[in-house]
Structures are given as C-alpha cells and as structure tokens.
Structure 1
Amino acid sequence: YNWLLNNQNNSNSIFLLGYFNYFGIKTSKNIEKAFNLFLNASEKDHISAHYFVGNCYKYGNGTKKNEKLAFEYCEKSANKNFTNGQLDVGYFYKNGIAINKNIKKSLYWYEQAANSGNVIAMHYLGNCYKDGKNGVKKDYNKAFELFEQSAIEGYTSGMTSLGYCYDNGIGTEEDKQKAFELYQKSANLGSISSQFNLGNMYEHGDGITNDIDKAIYWYEKAAKQGDKVAQNKLEKLTKSQ
C-alpha cells in the first residue's frame, strides 16, 4: 500500500490504490477517495477503472448516483472487452436504464460477455433460450449448453439450471441421478431452488429413495432463506409425522 502511495505515476497504481480504499485493504475503507482515484485512472484510460467509476455512479458509491454516467463508463469498459462492463451494458439496454430499451443490443452485449467467459451472462442467455424470450427463439439444446458451461465454471445458478435440465429432459436425456447430484452440489452452496428441488425429490422418491427426514431437512434449508412454498411443504410434512 505504501509503495502504491509513492508510485502514483501510472494508471494501474492509481487504480489499485482506489481498489484498496474501496474494499478497505491495508487501509481504512474510504469510498469517496476510491471513487476519485478510479476517476483519475479512468482519465488515463484504465479499463477496470472505467468499470468501477460506472459502478460507483450506478449505486451512488462515493459520489452522487447518476445512471447516465454509469452507462457511459460501463460502455467504455465494455468496448475494451471488460466482461463485467459488457454484462452491465446488456442489463442497461434490457431494462431501458439511462438509455432506450433495446433487446437486440442487450442480447449483443450479453453474448459478448458470455463469449468472454462471464458465467452470469451464460446463465442469463441459457434462460432466454429455455423460455424463448428476450429476443431469442426457444432452443433447448442451446440452453443446455449454456447452463452446462456456467456450471462447469462453478456458477451455482448454472448447476441448479443444469440439474433442472437433467431432471426434466430439457436439451438432454432425462437423468434423475445427474439432476440429484447437481442439485446437491448447488444446494450445499446455498441455492434455494436446489434445496427445494432436493426436498421434492426426497419427498416423492423421484429418482431416489423416498426419505421424509431428508425432505424435511432440505425444505427447512430453503424455508430459512425465505422460500414460502418450502415453508408450506415443511409444515405439512412435520404435521403428518
């Protein structure tokens, strides 16, 4: 940190100093100071700094919230192939934030982010292809591939969605065992949907041995995270025991 303080002669050092202040690494957290450092680095065309400035404007961190500027800075980073920037620009276009809603442009940026390895973009596109929404035609095979890619990269929601594909034979052969394994993996990582789905499999003996105690265990996990349907299931099962 001290070295960075004494070497503010290039955009990378300035950006890192901002990053340390933003997250309180080796110094007290100072969001306003971080924002000014990001802005300084961004003026020197630092790609990550463009994104962080955009993010600060998006949420009003260290500066006044300004969605128009948030879009402009995120777009700068997106045009330089920064995947989180591409993801945000896709989101801005999808929801018409600070810019006219444009599904075609939204799709373009989500695809750019997915092609750069962004798991959130992969998963989002997978859902678009699964449901045939947001500018794409329904394509189960493509949905399966995108979910699989994001799951391989360790994305919890990707594992859940891939499990759902195996569970229901979407874009692949139905395989309850694979569905169970994926649900279990993502449930242990905190996925509410997977916790609920595991409860359901155990309750009905769907592809696995029926086990009400385990069903209760998983419904309880999901209910504790606010899943109302899991809460109802839990109440019914505990009453009948």
Structure 2
Amino acid sequence: MTENSQGLSHDAIGQIEDCLTKKLHQNSELIKMSSDTQTASQQKDPRSSFEHLLSLAILGDKNAQCALGYMYDDGGCLPVDYDKALYWYEKAAAAGHAHAQFRFSRHYFDGQGICQNYGEAFKWCLKAASQGLAVAQNDLGQFYFEGKGTAQDYRKALHWFQEAGHQGDEIAQACVGWMYQKGLGVEIDYEKALFWNQLSADQGEPYAQSNLAEMLLLGQGTAPDPEKAYIWGSLALMRLPEGSVRGEAEALIKAARDLLGQEQLEKSNMAINNWLPTCINEE
C-alpha cells in the first residue's frame, strides 16, 4: 500500500470517497453543511480537509469542486490524479468558477491528462478572463498573440495583456511594453512602452528589465541613461535563461558599461546588489 507525503494512502482515499458519497445520499443533514471551503483547504490534517471538501463538492459547491480539483492536480495532500482533477475542474468550470475555468484551460493547452486541444483551451480561458481573472487574461493575450485556438490578432492580444497588466500581472505588463516598443498591433509609442516595461521591471520580470535597459541605452521615450541601462541589464541577466535574449542583454550591458566611468560603475554595482523587487519592498 503506497502513501503520499502526508500519510494518506490510495486505499484510504478511495474508502473516504465511497463512504462519504453514501453518507451524503443517506443523511439529509449533511446538506446543511457550511460552504466555508477556504477554512477546509487551510486545515493541516489532509484527511479532514479532503472529507469536508469532497462532501461539499458532491453537493455542488463550485469552490469546493475547484479546491478538490487542485488537490488532485497539485499532489501536495493527495496522489496526483489528472482524471479526478479534470472531473472536478470541469464541474466547477461549468458552474462558472473562474479559477477552475483557467485550470481546465491549462490542462487542454498542455495536454495534461487530456488530449491537447487549443480550441477548448481558448474557450475556457476566455470564460475565465471575461470574469476578470488576471492570469487568464494574460493567457488569453498569448492565445491571440500566437494565434493558437483562435485567429492571430495583435490588437485583441494587447487588450487582454493590458487588462491583466492593470491588475499587476508583471508578465502581461512586459508584453504590453514590448508591443508598444516594437509596434505590434499598435503604433510604436516609446513613452507607453517605457511605462509598462518599468512597471514590470520593478516587479522583477527579466524580459521587461532587458527591454527597459535597451530603451534607456538608446534614449527611447526618455533621455539616454547608460547608468540605469547598465543596472537594469545586469538585473535581467541574473534571471534570463540561455538564448538569444540573454545574448542581447550581455551586449547591452557591455555597451552601457563602456559609457560609464569607474565611479559610476561602482555606484551602479552597489545598486544592483541592493536591489529588491517592489513586491518585496512593499512587504
């Protein structure tokens, strides 16, 4: 008999499911249970948390259904079971739960536990994004940008990236900055590009930091500032993966460094070492 890290075995989980399902059908008093799923999901005992969520999920509580789907999806308290995760995600998604719609979309996009289907992924992502879920809005922007599951449309991509960006999604903010910087779906507007890249860079997004460094070095939307360009380029380089973008960042850093004196370099390196993203500074 195998157990997960919390000591809850596959057999025990099955027994809980069977037992609780029977109880729900036999005991009408369970219908009066509270739908406080947040409290349930925060319980340390995985068995009691699971029992509570399952009972509510079977009764049609979409919050519990989504939480249960995530428990099967995440594998933190239960063994990973994509079939069961998708079963509960779909129920919650059909009931209008935005996070469940988003997770269901991701599974379709990645082909995780289900046949990959960009059309279905787009459909469910649109539902979640339309409810204001920032991560779904960012994903929807990517669908339109890449033309996956729908026709490519840079204007719609920009719209959804902006919707997510206004909610603080740093990846979406970087995408908006990039589109204004390169004129994708919109006329080039360096001031707007600088604004969005700065928002994202301040949160630690490396691609935005690299794009911001380029704008500061070239004086796009602002006066040239090789010192700040060097700082942002160096910060980007710490997190950028290997590839062409990393090579571009290295070239930017070198070009900016060549324009700085020794005192400026020392000051800049100190700023780099002391830098923290805004999300940490605000804590």
| Matching residue of 2:194 | 180
Distance 1:32 1:220, change over 3 A: farther
1:52-74 deviation per Cα after TM superposition (whole angstroms, max 9, x unaligned) = 11111112121111111111111
Contact 1:192 1:227 in 2 (8 A): no
TM-score using structure 1 length: 0.84
Partner of 1:180, secondary structure, is helix
Question: Is 2:101 aligned against 1:86?
Answer: yes
Aligned CA-pair RMSD: 2.2
Equivalent in 134, 140, 150 of residue 136 of structure 1:
150
Separation in 2 of the partners of 1:47 and 1:82? 6
Separation in 2 of the partners of 1:50 and 1:61? 17
Separation in 2 of the partners of 1:37 and 1:182? 43
1:125-161 deviation per Cα after TM superposition (whole angstroms, max 9, x unaligned) = 21222232x1222212211211222222332222211
Pairwise CA distance, 1:103: 2.1
| Matching residue of 1:63 | 78
| Matching residue of 2:38 | 16
Equivalent in 152, 169, 175 of residue 161 of structure 1:
175
Larger C-alpha radius of gyration, 1 or 2?
Answer: 2
Equivalent in 213, 223, 236 of residue 222 of structure 1:
236
Partner of 1:187, secondary structure, is helix
Separation in 2 of the partners of 1:234 and 1:172? 26
> What letter matches 1:77 in structure 2?
A
Separation in 1 of the partners of 2:233 and 2:53? 44
Separation in 2 of the partners of 1:142 and 1:16? 35
Separation in 2 of the partners of 1:226 and 1:125? 24
Equivalent in 123, 142, 151 of residue 138 of structure 2:
123
Pairwise CA distance, 1:174: 1.4
Count of matched residue positions in the alignment of Structure 1 and Structure 2: 225
TM-score using structure 2 length: 0.72
Identity of aligned residues (%): 26
Pairwise CA distance, 1:237: 4.5
Contact 2:109 2:121 in 1 (8 A): yes
Distance 1:163 1:218, change over 3 A: same
Partner of 1:12, secondary structure, is coil
Pairwise CA distance, 1:238: 7.3
Separation in 2 of the partners of 1:187 and 1:197? 9
